[in-house]
Amino acid sequence: MKEIKVRAWDEYNKQFGYLMLSNKDGIVTKGNMLDMFNMKNWDRLKPFEQYIGKKDKTDREIYEGDILSDKYKKGEVSYDDNISAFAWSGGEDWGMIHGDEEIIGNIHE
């Protein structure tokens, strides 16, 4: 079974909370998001951003909302409905994510 991981930005504390929803054994709910928030604080979270299943060239997990850079461009990671895949774009230029890119930030910082 594929790992499903998400993160959400806590605007108040200016940090991400992470949560793994499933793993190879079935369902799991673990991560610091469970410790950081109780139900009354979930409204502080920005939209959930999914782990795309790939890592950058420095072995960091890539999530929606990350800003990637390679030797040619930089751009934001998002899901593209037209190609049914995660891609990254910088203006009108877009590309598939291969793992030779580097995370240089995210849309929240």
Q: Which fold has domain 52-109?
A: SH3 type barrels. (2.30.30)
User: What is the average pLDDT score of the chain?
Assistant: 79
Of the pLDDT bands very low, low, confident and very high (cuts 50, 70, 90), residue 61 is very high
DSSP state of 60: P
In this prediction the pTM is 0.79
CB-based contact 11:44 (threshold 8 Å): yes
Please report, for the chain, the start and end positions of each structural domain, with discontinuous segments joined by +. Answer: 1-47, 52-109
**Nearest Cα residue to 97 out of 41, 57, 47:** 57
Q: Which amino acid is at 18?
A: Y
pLDDT of residue 13: 78
Cα separation of 68 and 70, whole Å? 7
pLDDT of residue 69: 92
Of the pLDDT bands very low, low, confident and very high (cuts 50, 70, 90), residue 57 is very high
- Mean pLDDT across 63-85: 89
**Nearest Cα residue to 46 out of 16, 68, 88, 76:** 16
